[in-house]
Structure 1
């Protein structure tokens, strides 16, 4: 077993990621979808509507995740689940769940990343949980890099889809409003934006497995149904990305990915003032197909963001993203202002169970930049360690005071200025800083 100092060093070590995306993969996923449709028909289940014509990523995009640290992947995953409400607690500590994987990955700059001995042992008992959560981290890390390369003068924000959609639709029987009755949804949206201009939104589905390539085919076929559930603009014109990360017990991990093109996804209408509070809407569920001749068709299950909802949806995305950042920094009061009642505002107010809460009362300096946030102390191989998550101090003050417009202008202007180092010597531990101003860091404490 490695000691705690060795584990921290490994977390900051860049490694290569294998990315698989070609026409053969697209064909195999299509075959897996056809087989699933056949089985559903035999069981008298409805045929799923899937994103048609998934295609491989261009070769120029497939190298964008060539070097990444395990700590950066855990940062992506931890930040993605800050609003997930997956645990029993109602506090702000969901994101600390990423730390259970701090010994799961291994690799070096001259090799491909793979599961460590500890990761392989965990997979024997918690296969679905580990592969799914790590699959989310790798998928979002790749999505951010691919879209950043395609839109070099834009900013890429990752926003949880369920939390965003709840501002307009009743997703479950517990939500107020017209019920959608449809369980297929993307897990995330990637909003590609510039201040004062139309933004473009990509539904994203991320999965993971320890089962091998054939399992990834099945997962990508399933993911195609999830991303198809949201249309932004015209019917079947919303671009999307789907990922399945294969984490074998022997050999390097591989991110299998496909995409669907289209001319949609644009929120091309003057937006609202993002500093203003968002209220729950009651959008009638369903996606309206184009009419066949003079005969209108019945709506398909799902969620349709038409032109009349563009400004509202852009507003919901921006404020949901802000809520995720303030939750990542452990600030209850700041988070509550950005969520509607149906989005889970009550989960960030009032009583929280023991050990599930976090408080924005920690301050640290990394690479000459001051951050504010929350910390978590635990034992790693018998040694006490401290984890810190937060947001750059000056940017957090904008979010704390409700200045979303100013925050977005500043992170856009500073998007290429953040440090890329993975280890901060004065802090003495791994550090990951993302362009949105968020940070995740960990270090040994004196016993």
Structure 2
């Protein structure tokens, strides 16, 4: 493998093709009906009916940005021995899978030709997460100017247990959770928003994406705030091909909010301890109101497409369950999710001990097989490094020897000022300051030395920097 070519490709932008249309919605609805009737999967009666999203025809990105999104979003790995290696996995295993070609972002020739089926499934899942998060952030930035969204793994937040609540589980055998919660924090005060996100990926064509989106319609309906119905959502399915990557997007967010306040009020509230949940969460069967909504949506679909619909067959199946977040616990829930987001950023930087104050992770440490520098006192981030442009980072430095005598170097971290805020339990201050880090770095980076590295800085202050050290 030509690691020099890999390095060059990591930082070069290519266009993702975005698709969202009424035609796509109709195809997804047809697929859901097929699953329900021909394959006798009654859970598809319990689905959200999607609508198109306003998206540009193309959206540019570089592979390093997708890898950073994957790395931060998948930090909650429970194995106590290989946790550190798992946090680095995305940057090593998938560093050569995306490549810009003739202006488009594509699946690299190596990834397209040399990966067997079961590895393609894992590859499409991980890259599907990174691409979905990148596209979702763009869509939400257009929908909600002035809000910055954190991604929080839904299973981690619910199945693994929320402080003060414990595990929040649905009925046995029902596995229809969405992948992520996206929590939008206003920069200058206002409403805190929540959007659920389902990420899909495949190595095929649009027909596979359509089937995946039909299944996503069930997953995004499984969480609601009591009294408001299902939450706003985004469903994103990426087709990974050597000819170009196409991302299908449906379901724009609604106007639901968790709570609101001035910038000072939000910061002050989030800087405080989480406290006890005001009212417990529940897992319930859908009520009559949701049944009526399903009949109305089905009737509308029947008028627009030639599909034989039996209206008497619209009741939700017994296994359909909704996780209900009581209105009294909305503000508390947003605070809990913000803490999970902070823990994810800290774990990405290797700061497990500091992250434990936000979401106690399982014990970490042990042999990783890589030369990864960390503090002598444990697994907290200890390596300080500069990226130019006035950006100082606390995190980890991992070195992988290469066959030609060079070294593949990966820095993962968090901007040092933000790290200090989180270490000092100033979560509100962190959320208020984090979005300015990326802008400050972009405005200040002038040194050509750093242009040789592939660097991604997120709105949460996380930093991924990949370089190739040829040695002397």
The CA deviation at 1:237 is: 4.7
Counterparts of residues 165-184 of structure 1 (less than 5 Å): 165-166=158-159, 180-181=171-172, 182-184=174-176
**2:399 matched to 1:377?**
yes
* Residue number in structure 1 paired with 2:295: none
| Residues 380 and 113 of structure 1, relative CA distance in 2, 3 Å threshold | farther
Unaligned segments of structure 2, at least 5 residues: 292-315
Question: Are 1:169 and 1:285, in contact at CA under 8 Å, matched by a contact in 2?
Answer: no
| Deviations 1:266-298 (CA, angstroms, capped at 9, x unpaired) | 1026778323444686533226535699xxx99
Question: Are 1:371 and 1:393, in contact at CA under 8 Å, matched by a contact in 2?
Answer: yes
| Residues 53 and 333 of structure 1, relative CA distance in 2, 3 Å threshold | same
* Residue number in structure 2 paired with 1:267: 258
**2:42 matched to 1:18?**
no
Question: Are 1:269 and 1:310, in contact at CA under 8 Å, matched by a contact in 2?
Answer: no
Question: Are 2:286 and 2:322, in contact at CA under 8 Å, matched by a contact in 1?
Answer: no
| Deviations 1:27-76 (CA, angstroms, capped at 9, x unpaired) | 111111111112442xxx54235443211112xx325x621101111111
Partner of 2:88, secondary structure, is: helix
Q: Which stretch of structure 1 is more off in the superposition, 97-106 or 133-142?
A: 97-106
* Residue number in structure 2 paired with 1:342: none
* Residue number in structure 2 paired with 1:47: 43
**2:392 matched to 1:401?**
no
Distance 1:105 1:84 in 2: 24
| Residues 21 and 305 of structure 1, relative CA distance in 2, 3 Å threshold | same
* Residue number in structure 1 paired with 2:342: 322
* Residue number in structure 1 paired with 2:213: 220
**2:300 matched to 1:304?**
no
Counterparts of residues 17-166 of structure 1 (less than 5 Å): 17-41=16-40, 45-58=41-54, 61-63=55-57, 66-85=59-78, 89=81, 91-99=83-91, 100-108=93-101, 110-125=102-117, 126-166=119-159
TM-score normalised per structure 1: 0.85
* Residue number in structure 2 paired with 1:441: 465
Partner of 2:250, secondary structure, is: strand
The CA deviation at 1:331 is: 0.9
Which structure has greater helix proportion? Answer: 2
Q: Which stretch of structure 1 is more off in the superposition, 301-310 or 394-403?
A: 301-310
The CA deviation at 1:400 is: 1.2
When the two chains are superposed, the root-mean-square deviation of aligned CA atoms in Å is: 3.0
| Residues 152 and 23 of structure 1, relative CA distance in 2, 3 Å threshold | same
1:230 pairs with 210, 223, 232, which one? 223
Distance 1:156 1:178 in 2: 25
Distance 2:238 2:11 in 1: 21
Question: Are 2:238 and 2:247, in contact at CA under 8 Å, matched by a contact in 1?
Answer: yes
Partner of 1:368, secondary structure, is: coil
Question: Are 1:192 and 1:200, in contact at CA under 8 Å, matched by a contact in 2?
Answer: yes
Distance 1:9 1:307 in 2: 50
Question: Are 1:115 and 1:247, in contact at CA under 8 Å, matched by a contact in 2?
Answer: yes
* Residue number in structure 2 paired with 1:368: 390
| Residues 436 and 350 of structure 1, relative CA distance in 2, 3 Å threshold | closer
The CA deviation at 1:228 is: 0.9
Distance 1:143 1:292 in 2: 26
| Residues 48 and 149 of structure 1, relative CA distance in 2, 3 Å threshold | same
The CA deviation at 1:179 is: 5.6
The CA deviation at 1:389 is: 0.6
Question: Are 1:54 and 1:259, in contact at CA under 8 Å, matched by a contact in 2?
Answer: yes
Distance 1:4 1:291 in 2: 57
The CA deviation at 1:122 is: 4.0
Partner of 2:48, secondary structure, is: coil
1:391 pairs with 408, 414, 425, which one? 414
Q: Which stretch of structure 1 is more off in the superposition, 157-166 or 354-363?
A: 354-363
Distance 2:446 2:6 in 1: 13
| Deviations 1:211-244 (CA, angstroms, capped at 9, x unpaired) | 2111111111111111111113545452110011
Question: Are 2:223 and 2:230, in contact at CA under 8 Å, matched by a contact in 1?
Answer: no
The CA deviation at 1:330 is: 0.5
| Deviations 1:98-155 (CA, angstroms, capped at 9, x unpaired) | 12111111114x5211111211134334110111111111110000111112222222
Q: Which stretch of structure 1 is more off in the superposition, 283-292 or 15-24?
A: 283-292
Partner of 1:408, secondary structure, is: helix
Question: Are 2:286 and 2:321, in contact at CA under 8 Å, matched by a contact in 1?
Answer: no
Partner of 2:112, secondary structure, is: helix
Which structure's CA Rg is the greater one? 2
